[in-house]
Chains A and B, each alone.
Chain A
C-alpha cells in the first residue's frame, strides 16, 4: 500500500514538474489594442502587421537594426532597370509542412494587388510578376523602382494551396466588414504559428517547429493579451501576469522602473501623429456654418497655431514626444530639420487668421479620435479640444476604438480626425503615396495637387538620386505650405518588460520574437 502511494506521489510530482516545464518559456505580451485581422493583406495597420510579422514572412525583411536583409529570397539582382530576379530559399516550408515555392510568392504578390488589399499601394508599381522556375521569381516594374525592396519587405507570402482550400484567394474586404477564414486563421512560413485566436481577448502563438531559419530564441509560446485600460495593463505587468508591454503608458514609466523586477526601454518611434481636415467636402458633416471652413488655408493655419504642442509634450506625453512639422521623421529619405520646424504657437495670430477667413466667432466641428491606438491618443484630442476652444472653434470629441475609427474614416465619415503614420519603407514616397496623392486610400483630407502627384511619379521612377531627392523636397514644401494636415508630434515609444525577458525594442514598434529570450 505504502509503496503504491509513494509511486502515486512521485508520478504527481513528475507531472507537476513536467507540466510547469512546458510553460516555462511563455511570453505574455500585451498592448492596448489587438490585431484587426489575421489576413496579412487586408489591413495596413501597426499592431496588425506586428502580429502578421511573427507568422508570415516576406521576400526580404528588416532586421533588428532596421536594415534590409534576405528572408524568403536568398539573393536578388536587377537584370534590367525594370526587371528584378529573386532567388528563393529552397528549404522553406509552411507550418503545415508543404514546401514554399515561387508559385506561392507570385500568388501572394498578386493577391496583395487586388482591390480589397490594403497593401496595393506598396506595390502599385509592379506590372508583372512571374515564376521562371520553382525557386525563381521575376518582377517587372513600370519604371525603375529604387525602393522596391523596401516595399516588398511588407508583402507577406501566403500558401496558394491553403488559400485555395479555404476560400481566401482574395484579401478580406475589411472596410466592408467581411468575415473570412483567413481573417481568423493563419498559416505562414514564419517562426511562430497561431493556435488560438480570440479577437481582443487572447491570441496564442506556438513555436513553428518546421521553421527554416536558425533558431535564436528560446520561446515556446507567446500569448497576446490586449488590455485597453492603461492602469490595468501596468497593474498586470507589475503583478507578473504579463511579461512585456509594447506600449507602456508614459505616466507610469517611473513606477515601472522603480520595481526591481522590471525594465523600460524607450526609443523615438517611426510614427508621426497628426490631425486631418477634410478640405474637399462642400459642407462639414458635423459643422454649423453650412460650408466647409477647412477649405480655407487661413482656417487650417489658425487651428495649427492654436495648438500648444509644447504643453501637450510636457503634460500629456510627459516629455516623451518630439513636436513635428511634417509627417515624417529622422531617418526617412527626404526628412530635413528645416521641414520639421513648426509654425509658432500663437493664439492671437490664430484668432486673427480665423477672423480674416470670415469666421470671427469660430465654428463647430467634431473631432474623431481612436482611444486605443496611439500613445495617449484620447488625452491628446481632449487637450486639442480645449486649445481650439480658446480661439472659438467649438470642437466636440468623438473617441472610439480603433477598429471603428479606421473603418469609419475609410468610409469618408470624418471631417476632422486623428491619425498616426509610420513609414515602414523609410522613404518619403510611402507617405505621399498613401496620404497626399489625389484619391489615395488614406488621403481622407482629400488633398489634391497636380504638382505633388507629378512628384510622386518621379519618386517612383527616378533612379538619379539627386533629381529624386529634389522632387521629394519640392513635394514636402508644397504640402507643408498648404497645411494639408496638422502635424502634432513624432511618437516616442516605451516598452516595459520583466528583467528576465529580452525583447529588443525597434523604432517601428514591431517586436521580433524570433530574437527574444526568456531567462
Chain B
C-alpha cells in the first residue's frame, strides 16, 4: 500500500543508489560538471553569440587573438581565437556537441548489438553461443582503434566522396560502435548464464512463456546493472576514440570540427606560441572524459559490488 503512494522522486530519494550518490563527493562533482558540459554543448546557441561555422561572421584579421586575460587578449574572445578568427569557446562547445553525439550514438549502437548477441548467446548456448563468443575473441585481438580505422577506410572506399562528408558522422558512429560491442556481449552473456538458472526463468519456461519474452522482459532487466557500468565507461572510451580518429584525420570533416579535429588543427601552432588553440580543446576533452570515468567508477562500486 505504502509503495503506491510514493512518487517517483521519493522512490529515488529512498533508494540505495541515491544514498550512495549523496555520500560520494566525486560522483556529485562529476555529475555537476557533466550537466554543465551537456547543457552548454546542446544549447550552445544560448551560451555564446558566435557561430564558428558561419564563414561570413569571421574576420581573418582577428585570428590568433590570445585568451582575454593575457596582454593582447580581447574581452570578447574569452579563450582567444584560432587561426581563422573563430572564437575558441564557441568552437569548443560546438565541437563537443559533435563529440557527444558520436559518443552516445556509438555506445547505444554497441550496447544494442552487444547485449542482443550476448544475451541470446548466453540464453540459447550451444553452437550459436560458441560462434558469437569466438567472434568476440577474434575481435578483441584487434585493437579497437585499428578496427575503427579499418571500418572507416572501407567506408571511404565504398561511399562516394560527395556523400562522404555527410555520411562521415554515421560511419564514425558505426566504426566506434562495432569496435566496442564485444565488451557488452561478454558481460551480458556472463550475467545471463547466472540468471538463466534461477527459478523465475525456469518457472516462466514451465508456464510456456516464449524465449523472446523471457530474454528481454525477464532476464534483461536483471543484467542491466553491469551493462550500464560498462556503458558509462564505454562512453568515455567512445569519445576518446572519436577524438583519436578525428586527430588522425579520418573522423568528422574539418568543416564541422569535433574536439579531436580541433586538437589536430591547433597542433600546427604549438611551436609558434599559440598554445590556446590546441590546449583548450584538449583540456576540455580531458575534463569530459575524466568526469564520465569518475561517474562510471562510482556506478560500478554502487551497482555491482561484485566487481570490486
Contact = CB atoms under 8 A, between A and B. Distances in A.
Q: Do A and B belong to a common assembly?
A: yes
Interface of A: 229-231, 234-235, 238, 249, 251-252, 254-255, 286, 308, 311-312, 314-316, 379, 382-383, 385-390, 392, 395-399
A390 B84 contact: no
Going nearest first, the 8 A-B pairs with the smallest beta carbon separation are A389-B55, A251-B272, A386-B55, A311-B60, A389-B56, A315-B63, A252-B271, A255-B271
10 contacts: A231-B269, A249-B268, A252-B272, A286-B162, A315-B64, A382-B83, A382-B84, A386-B58, A388-B55, A397-B254
A396 B61 contact: no
B271 A315 contact: no
A253 to B, nearest CB: 8
B274 interface: yes
Does more than half of chain A's interface fall in helix, strand or loop, or is it mixed?
helix
Given A231-B268, A315-B60, 9 more contacts: A229-B267, A251-B272, A254-B272, A308-B61, A312-B60, A315-B85, A316-B83, A386-B85, A392-B56
Contact of B273 (A230, A231, A255): A255
Contacts of B199: none
Contacts of B268: 229-231, 249, 251
Contacts of B71: none
Contact of B84 (A252, A386, A388, A392): A386
B60 A383 contact: yes
B210 interface: no
A312 B64 CA distance: 13
B54 A389 contact: yes
A251 B269 CA distance: 7
Contacts, number: 72
A311 B61 contact: yes
Does more than half of chain B's interface fall in helix, strand or loop, or is it mixed?
loop
B272 A315 contact: no
Contacts of B56: 386, 389-390, 392
B55 A251 contact: no
A231 B58 contact: no
B58 A315 contact: no
B contact residues, range: 20 to 34
B60 A385 contact: no
A17 to B, nearest CB: 36
A234 B273 CA distance: 13
Nearest to B267: A231
A251 B274 contact: yes
A315 B55 CA distance: 16
B272 A255 contact: yes
Nearest to A318: B272
Given A230-B268, A385-B55, A387-B60, A315 B273 contact: no
Contacts of A251: 268-269, 271-272, 274
A315 B83 contact: yes
B270 interface: yes
Contact of B83 (A252, A308, A379, A389): A379
